Structure 1
Amino acid sequence: MNLFDLALSWLKHKPKERVILFGRGIHALPNPREKELFDDASSAFIRGDVLEGYKSFLASLVHSEISHLPHHLKIIPEEGALRFELIQGSAIIKAYITSEYLEAYADIAKSASLHVAIKRRFLERNFQLTYCHFSEEKGVIKLSIRLDNTTITPQKIFFPLREIALNADFEKEFIASEFDESVLLEYDHILPINAERARRLYTAMQTWIVQTKESLLGLLSNDNTGMVSFSYLALLLQIDYLILPHKKMAKNISEKINGYFLDDEKLTEDKNADLETFLFELETMSYEHFVTQLYDSTSTFSPYEQAMHDDIATFIDESLAKVRWYKNSHSNYVISVIYRYISLYILYNYGLHPSLRALLHLHVEVYTGDFFAAEGETRLYDPQTKTFQKNSIQERIASAIKPYADRYKGLKNFADELNYSDLEHFSQSFYLQIKNLDYTEA
């Protein structure tokens, strides 16, 4: 068994840690030997065994398989060389390695079918990229890198590979959102969403929009702009996280959320009006168009930079301060919305440790029980009886914490510290525990 197959077998027998299939991070769990394999690669490069170093490095990238998707990384050993292919969303990166160099590329689109504005965009993007560049070869637009292996290190491989993977995916998504995706090359690996599930997702989105509109009846005035903002943003974040649209729909949602937080001269009322107009567009979107915005694929690299836990703790503190302000103002409606918004925004905006991602996903599940019940999951909170599935919640917290407890000695299971008396007290106690998690390595 070679190093790559060994890494894959370890992951197949990894302890019961839930793979989160929602949101825009990697939908898999990292290799438990990632650091060890990274160090093995460094040692091999130092002693001049370049191909062995690459094998260890690539093995460190291997993460858990998702049963219905092709594996994200394929390695083909050759005499005195290595080939590999990795998937990043809509893009496939192909590479050839010798002891002297690495060459990798992603085929983006047919050049003859592209509008001149897109070609100009690629030229401009070359000035923004650090390691890779766009070019045209035999009628194909490619994104390529070449690395000299004379003084190679794992770090000198990781960042160029991540750049080419993320940018190839980004540009193919951009073309699919603005033009006809038929011009794209190597696009057949993405999988359509099952028709039954696509209809379920469409119905869920429509239900959430109607519920949000009904909850705001009587509140749409200048005195309630903050409450309206939280409601609209929480809804868009929930659509983005749970439905995971692509192409034009994903681009528009991102622009609306990020546009709200721009430090510009726009009034909050005007920003809310923009969000309301966009929600109307989603509400009136036909199912036939909606389903074209969905697909399944796997990824190798996270699109996020790893966040410092102090930054996340600060965001939670600031958000809980807003909860207290609304409580003091007797604006009870918005409190549950803010609690829902906190976890969704962190999942949207920060690169998270897998355990923290699993914990925040748990909070999303608590607030969207109908959606997850339709997905075949246990309902963690019943709004009719106002009761929690306490044992299931405790199991989920344990499965998020336990696999990392040896590495982070201060990371403790906090399930028994939560207040299960009602939804509000649960969220308050939950975020206080999340804020104080200790990810200091032993």
Structure 2
Amino acid sequence: MDTIRGWFITPSMHRAPRYGRGIHALPNPDEKELFDLSSAAFVNGEILNGYEYFLSSLIHHESSFSAPHLSIERLTEEISFSLIQGSARIQGKVTKSSLEAHADIALSDKLHVAIKRHFLERDFQLTYCRFSETNGIIQLSIRLDNATITPQKIFYPLREIALNADFEKEFIAGEFDESSLLETSHLLPISQDQIALRYRFMNQWIQETKQSLIGLLSNDNTGMTSFSYLSLLLQIDYLLLPHKKMAKNISEKINGYFMDDEKLTEDKNADLEQYLSELSVMHIDYFSTQFYDSAYTFSPFEQAMHDEIAAFIDESLSKVRWYKNNRSNYVISVIYRYISLYILYNYGLHPSLRNLLHLHVEIYASDFFQAVGEAPLYDRTTKIFNETLIAQRIRESIEPYTARYKGLNDFSEHINYSDLDHFSQSFYLQLKNLDYTEL
């Protein structure tokens, strides 16, 4: 936990991207200090103080939501708290002897019997929390004994109940009648203008991808096709952030492609193509039901070490070299786009690295970001980069962390702006060599 906490020292400047399935805010600037105070309080037997310090360490910095994602009420003999994780709200109470927390999932009498069977099976997969029925309500709950409590013993159970309560409510909304779901008042609707914009760009990206593959699908170009379809689905997931059935299907298609099975790549590509065709004919009325906005307290990702990220970048760049050597120039820019989107989809990242990869996504989808009001980083018509703003964004991502990581340097002067391919190649080489060694 000390290593993980050390990665999240809040910078004085630098914004958290409001895209993807990570936390759309920066960590608490006093997270480490509050965590250490919690540990010390528990050692001294100050149970309520320890919990208050720990819960306070989870409160995000500069959240974009007006309502808090975590509220804490301290009384003389107990602490009450409420935290939001996507579609779920977790209510908890702490006394000197225990912590009890629960999330209301759904009304029992409105649930299909298959869901109840599913909950019984899920109990065997969970470590700390369990499903139960109380007064006709299906709940996910935990109870912790405070006899030997530590911050670590609180973090993992709370994270488990939050992530799984959100997952189960999304699962029900995607597969069954979501009218049975409880505690949904915190979900924020998306404006119709935003829905229309997302719908337009999704269909634009699908048509552009199909057009780019004309003449390739009949040849031996399965790898090129795979990169094109996967990049598109990853971009839809990251930039549009759908929920419910749409999110579930996209996840299944992406993860299904990477399953180690006997299915041919051509067949996997056909599955991806079929789903993209389904998205292209999806009516906007149904499309609009798949979106809402909500805060998150815990990241759904496990923290990745930078060596793992560097190895993936290195492997992907070797594929770029292979396609260059074989004169398959079309797929090169697609692979460059795929690298950043896949890492953002699949790994828990240091805030600086997440911001840098988002910067790369922004450049490749500059028309989308201009449409949502962001200053464009790249003009697709003139093929000109906003070099000044890109350099500023790189500095803002790096400099706040250089005091802790002495080898972490601003690399904005080493970027090649000749064209998108040269930009990406130089950008990823710099990312690969970032030094997160703590001195």
For normalisation by structure 2, the TM-score amounts to 0.97
Whether contact under 8 Å (2:29, 2:61) holds in the other structure is no
Q: 1:21 aligns with which of 12, 18, 23?
A: 18
Relative to structure 1, is the Cα distance of residues 45 and 68 closer, same or farther in structure 2, using a 3 angstrom cutoff?
A: closer
For 1:247, the equivalent position in structure 2 comes to 244
1:84-130 CA deviation, whole Å, 9 max, x = no partner?
00000000000000111000000000000001110011111111100
Taking the aligned partners of 2:98 and 2:63, their CA distance within structure 1 comes to 32
1:374 equivalent among 345, 350, 371: 371
Deviation at 1:19, TM superposition (A): 2.1
Separation in 2, partners of 1:204, 1:50: 51
Equivalent position of 1:55 in the other structure: 52
For residue 99 of structure 2, what is the aligned residue in structure 1?
102
CA RMSD between the two structures: 1.2
Residue 387 of structure 1 and its aligned partner are, at CA, apart by: 1.2
Query: Which among 222, 237, 251 is matched to residue 234 of structure 2?
Result: 237
- Secondary structure at the residue paired with 2:139? strand
Matches within 5 A, 1:140-289: 140-289=137-286
- Cα distance in 2, alignment partners of residues 303 and 68 from structure 1: 19
* 1:111 equivalent in structure 2: 108
Matched letter for residue 325 of structure 1: W
Amino acid at match of 1:203: R
Q: Distance in 2 between matches of 1:106 and 1:177?
A: 19
Q: CA deviation at 1:411?
A: 1.1
Partner of 1:290: 287
**Structure 1 counterpart of 2:330, which letter?**
Y
Specify the SS of the correspondent of 2:158: helix
Asked if 1:299 is matched to 2:296, the reply is yes
Match of residue 84 from structure 1: 81
| Counterpart position of 1:3 | none
CA contact (8 A) 2:225 2:269 kept: yes
Conserved 8 A contact 1:69-1:297: no
Note if contact 1:222-1:269 (Cα within 8 Å) is conserved in structure 2: no
Distance 1:408 1:318 in 2: 26
Offset, 1:15: 2.5
Per mean C-alpha deviation after superposition, the further-off stretch among 30-39 and 179-188 is: 30-39
1:311-339 Cα distance to aligned partner (Å, 9 max, x none): 11111011000000000000100000000
Could you list the per-position Cα deviations for residues 9-32 of structure 1 after superposition, in whole angstroms to 9, with x for gaps in the alignment?
x98xx7221121000001110112
Q: Does residue 397 in structure 1 map to residue 414 in structure 2?
A: no
**Shift, 1:401, TM fit:** 1.1
CA contact (8 A) 1:65 1:71 kept: no
Residues in 2 aligned to 1:183 and 1:281: alpha-carbon distance in whole angstroms:
27
SS where residue 223 of structure 1 aligns?
coil
Are the counterparts in 2 of residues 31 and 63 from structure 1 also a CA contact under 8 Å? yes
| Equivalent residue number for residue 312 of structure 2 | 315
Relative to structure 1, the CA distance from residue 32 to residue 407 in structure 2 (aligned partners, 3 Å threshold; closer, same or farther) is: farther
1:312-391 correspondence runs (5 A): 312-391=309-388
The unaligned stretches of length 5 or more in structure 2 are: 1-8
- 1:305-363, Cα deviation, whole Å (9 max, x unpaired): 00111111111011000000000000100000000000000000001111100000000
CA change 1:26–1:37 in 2 (3 A) is same
Q: What one-letter code is carried by the residue in structure 2 that aligns with 1:45?
A: F
Partner of 1:417: 414
Question: Which piece of structure 1 moves more, 353-362 or 221-230?
Answer: 221-230
Report the more deviating stretch, 252-261 or 32-41.
32-41
Q: Deviations over 1:368-398 (max 9, x none)?
A: 0100000111111112222110111011111
Equivalent in 119, 123, 134 of residue 131 of structure 2: 134
How far is 1:65 from its partner?
4.1
SS of the residue 1:102 aligns to: strand
What's the secondary structure of 1:150's corresponding residue?
Answer: helix
Identity, % of aligned pairs?
Answer: 68
* Paired AA for residue 312 in structure 2: F
CA distance, structure 1, for counterparts of residue 350 and residue 231 of structure 2: 22
Q: Output one character per residue of 1:189-210: Cα deviation in whole Å (capped at 9) or x when no partner.
A: 1011011011000000000000
Provide the rounded CA distance (Å) in 1 between the counterparts of 2:82 and 2:428. 40
Measured against aligned partners, the alpha-carbon deviations of 1:254-289 in whole angstroms (never above 9, x if no partner) come to 000000000110111000000000000000000000
Aligned partner letter, 2:31: E
**1:386-434 Cα deviation digits (max 9, x unpaired):** 2110111011111111221212111111101111111111100000000
What is the CA–CA distance in structure 2 between the aligned matches of 1:96 and 1:68, rounded to whole Å? 24
CA contact (8 A) 2:25 2:64 kept: no
Aligned residues: 431
Shift in Å at residue 167 of structure 1?
0.3
Question: Where does structure 1 lack aligned partners over 5 or more consecutive residues?
Answer: 1-9
Q: Is the 8 A contact 1:19 1:28 kept in 2?
A: yes
Cα pair 1:45 1:53 within 8 Å, conserved: yes
Residue identity opposite 2:147 in structure 1: T
Most deviating of 63-72 and 31-40:
63-72
SS in structure 2 at match of 1:362: helix
Shift of residue 439 of structure 1?
Answer: 1.2
TM-score (ref. length: structure 1): 0.96
User: Helix, strand or coil: the match of 1:300?
Assistant: coil
Question: What's the offset of the Cα at 1:68?
Answer: 4.2
